[in-house]
Structure 1
Amino acid sequence: MELADRAVGFLLSFISLSIFTYYTFWVIILPFVDSDNFIHNYFLPQEYAILIPVCAGVVLLCLLCMFIGFVMLKSKKKMA
């Protein structure tokens, strides 16, 4: 099982590093590259650089609030 855990950890690290590198290049470096350069074909428009993380944060916050609410309701039912 230790080998499977290492493989999953490596995969998650690789995915996280890839997303971080893509986003960093997209937000920090790409604005300084000419807009007619071919590299712009590989990236979404700049508006999405803010929209995607904000939407992901809102969804994550909603899921966290729902989880906390369910736990509170469940613990209240056990006390009654």
Structure 2
Amino acid sequence: MELADRAVGFLLSLISLSMFTYYTFWVIILPFVDSDHFIHKYFLPQEFAILVPVFAGVALLCFLCFSIGFVMLKSKKKKA
């Protein structure tokens, strides 16, 4: 089981690092590259650089609120 946990942790770390690298390159380096360069076809337009993290943050906040609310309702039913 320990090997499987390490493999999952390594995979999650690799995915997080690749997403961080992609986003950093997209937001910080890409604006300084000419707009007709071929590298621009691998990235979304710059507007999405703000929209994607905002949408992910709102989705995470909603998920946390619903989870906390569900746990509070479940614990209230156990007391009654």
Question: Could you say which residue in structure 2 is the equivalent of 1:12?
Answer: 12
Partner of 1:51: 51
Task: Give ranges in structure 1 of 5+ residues lacking alignment.
Answer: none
Instruction: Give the Å deviation of 1:8.
Output: 1.0
Give the TM-score, by structure 2 length: 0.95
Other-structure match for 2:70: 70
3-state DSSP of counterpart to 1:36 = coil
Structure 1: how far apart are the matches of 2:50 and 2:44? 11
Runs (4+) off by over 6 Å: none
Per-residue CA deviations over 1:6-64 (Å, capped at 9, x if unaligned) read: 11111111110000000000000000001000000100000000001100110110010
Computed over aligned residues only, the root mean square deviation of the Cα atoms, in angstroms, reads: 0.7
- Partner letter of residue 65 of structure 1? C
Mark the runs of 5 or more structure 2 residues left unpaired by the alignment: none
Amino acid at match of 2:36: D
The alignment partner of 1:23 has SS state of helix
Q: Residue 34 of structure 1 aligns with which residue? A: 34
> Structure 1-normalised TM-score?
0.95
Aligned residue identity for 1:46: Q
